Structure 1
Amino acid sequence: MHQFEKTGPLLTARRPAAAAVAVAVATALLAGCGSRTAGADGTPSASGTAGPCGMPQASPSAGAQAPSGPARGGVRITAANAVCAEYEVTNLGSEPSDVTVTFSRLDASGGVLDNVTRTVAALAPGATEKGRVDLDGPGSARPGAGRQVKILKVRSVPGAEAPHPGGPCPASGLRLYADDGDAAMGLRVVGLHLRNCGTSTVTVNGYPELQLLDLEHQPIDGVSVLRGGARIATGTGADDPPRKIALRPGEGARATLVWRNTTEAGGPVSAPYVRVRATPGAAPVMVTPELDLGTTGRLGVGAWTTDDQQPPAPRPPAG
């Protein structure tokens, strides 16, 4: 069992550095109007009917290549043609979860055109939901010709701990979520945002509680969580002194995470998930800041400060 030392409201983890997190990738190769679907045993098989995205099927001799069969992180591309790809998302866990899939759309030579994200909310254990990614995006003089799509990453958080920047206010009356962050010269900065969407004033004072988690949501040891960011970098916004902040309905607060991804001797550590409690005893929220800590073994966290930033629009659902 992993052990954590607690200093103030922060957790300091102790364990040998974890191995780098592998990126789950499955690629569907597309050619012309050809399309093939995955058979019941997970291996590709050709179909003689119209494609699932409304395009006619090509025979195997026409050069069409099939999508990858095996599931990656519970996600599998089941069919693809010149203009779209279909996929299935299965909850491999034991509780309802929000599953977010990031797809990369590629040109005919494999260059990345853009990334698109799809989220399936409150997916029951063992349940499967289907979706579709359109491939008629920028970067192709002949839309869809020779286009490809791949699963870049899959992230799953328990529904009870999922961040919800938009939609109905959580039962706690507080929204907590992470932004997309900023990166420059190996320095990473991500903001944690807290907003009072309830009807009563909520007071925060000091630092959020953090627990770093791996791909299987298990605690990661060997990383020191530091108060403030000065020992990592200055000017990040993580060094304001802690103070009591009364958040009236509609008001928000922000705490800053800062780290470097420097890699030297030893194994690098990646923590895709962080379980956050805004105050001691608060309900946890699991965010995905994708901490690529290298071999530094340190993460700085700033105290809560006032924040006027409004939450972003919710991610589009699957389909």
Structure 2
Amino acid sequence: MSTASRTAPAVLAAALLLAACGTQSVSPGGGAGGGPVRAEALCPSDFSRYGSPPSSEPSVRPSGTPTALPLPSAGGTAEDGVKITALYAWGPESGCAGVAYSADFKLTNQQTETATYTLTFGFLSASGGAVDNVERTVEAVGPGRTVKGTVVMGEPVGNAPEVTGIEVIKTRSVPEAEAPSTSGTCPKSGMHLYADQGDAAMGLRVVGLHLVNCGTRPLQLNGYPKLTIQDEDHHTVDGIRILQGTDQISTGLGGDSRPQPFVLRPGEAALAELAWRNTTQAGEPVNAPYVRVWATPAADPVMVAPELDLGTTGKLGVGPWRKDETHRDPASTTARP
């Protein structure tokens, strides 16, 4: 065999290998077998709307070179329909600013109706401790449908330990037709309704229900929100007394006055408090994540997730609607030329 014929295959193999460098896409779980792997991939974004169909438009995100980290289990078990499929380390050298780690996941809606999910992921250190917890919302997942998404951990502050693992901490879902909203497209009801993060001190919990008139007509309010409580499986929780007013839970919360009628004009907002105590004595503690809320008797319900940990008290106080004077309508505060 001539020298040329012997060297041609080697040259061709080297050329193919060089052509592949920097263009390989990162496959889920790529680091699970033979150790860390670096390959080019689109920089993950906190602002991507996961669960949506892929866009036909070319991506404008830059590319970077993450390191694929091994998962504890190559197969990965699904937790409430959520399965982690890959974990990546990013850094200053990756070319993606502001991203420290990311993970790919699959979500399967195991329910019988379209649902919006809020997923909480824990990025873990080698000792198993939490480095950071990150929430991701996945909207409008049809029954039986599986969607893919990515969760991103930003660059930590200080000397945080390296991330070596990830877990699904919590999965919450609400029917798409009853999903809360804070802004964006105004629902058919003409109202945005949502719960805030609340406040907790010495066993006392207070969560605000916020109602914003995003429609074009005034809204008459007079009274209390109507509530039903649901457990993790969306079953109604019986045996809980829903009290009108929060004074039987704690005084001075602002929800102990009698309801007063008022008009909520477009752009204005109202507020009502939920209050309870996490006191545990004899009996079985009640933990119920979901509350179904009717802002008015004629309104459609909205489901929020204030994570009620009622202990053994068996009581939940709800204050009356009152105008939220601190709310500012973005449309009315925009500078005009």
Same fold (TM over 0.5): yes
1:171-229 superposed Cα distances (whole Å, 9 cap, x missing partner):
01011110000000000000001110000001011101000001111100110000111
User: Is 2:226 the counterpart of 1:209?
Assistant: yes
Alpha carbons of structure 1 residues 156 and 64: separation in structure 2 relative to 1, 3 Å: closer
Aligned-residue CA RMSD (Å) = 2.8
Query: Aligned to 2:29, which of 37, 54, 57?
Result: 37
Number of residue pairs matched by the alignment: 269
Q: Which residue of 1 aligns with 2:288?
A: 271
1:71-112 Cα offsets, whole Å, 9 max, x none, are 111111112243332111111111111111011223333332
C-alpha separation in 2, matches of 1:64 and 1:126: 26
The yes-or-no answer on 1:117 pairing with 2:129 is: no
> Quick one: distance in 1 between partners of 2:86 and 2:72?
10
State the TM-score, normalizing by the size of structure 1: 0.76
CA distance in 1, matches of 2:329, 2:107: 24
- Counterpart position of 1:21: none
| Per-residue Cα deviation, 1:36-58 (whole angstroms, up to 9, x for no partner) | 739xxxxx963799578654668
Q: Does structure 2 retain, via aligned residues, the 8 Å contact 1:208–1:277?
A: yes
Q: Partner letter of residue 92 of structure 1? A: Q
Q: Is the 8 A contact 2:123 2:163 kept in 1?
A: no
- AA paired with 1:235? G
Instruction: Return the structure number with greater relative CO, CA threshold 8 A, min gap 6.
Output: 1
Letter in 2 for 1:46: G
Q: Distance in 2 between matches of 1:288 and 1:101?
A: 12
Do the aligned residues in 2 keep the contact of 1:67 with 1:77 (CA within 8 Å)?
Answer: no
Tell me: CA distance 1:95–1:157, structure 2 relative to 1, closer, same or farther (3 Å).
same
Shift, 1:310, TM fit: 4.2
Q: Which runs of 5+ in 2 are unaligned?
A: 1-26, 42-64, 90-100, 331-337
What amino acid is the match of 1:154? Answer: T
C-alpha distance after superposition, 1:246-283 (max 9, x if no partner): 10101111110000011111110011000000111210
Q: Secondary structure at the match of 2:29?
A: strand
TM-score in terms of structure 2 length = 0.72
Match of 1:11? none
| Pair 1:72-2:64 in alignment | no
Q: Which has the higher helix share?
A: 2
1:46 aligns with 2:33: yes
Asked if the contact 1:136–1:144 (Cα under 8 Å) also holds between the matched residues in 2, the reply is no
Moved over 6 A (4+): none
The code of the aligned residue for 2:33 comes to A
Q: Does 1:171 align with 2:188?
A: yes
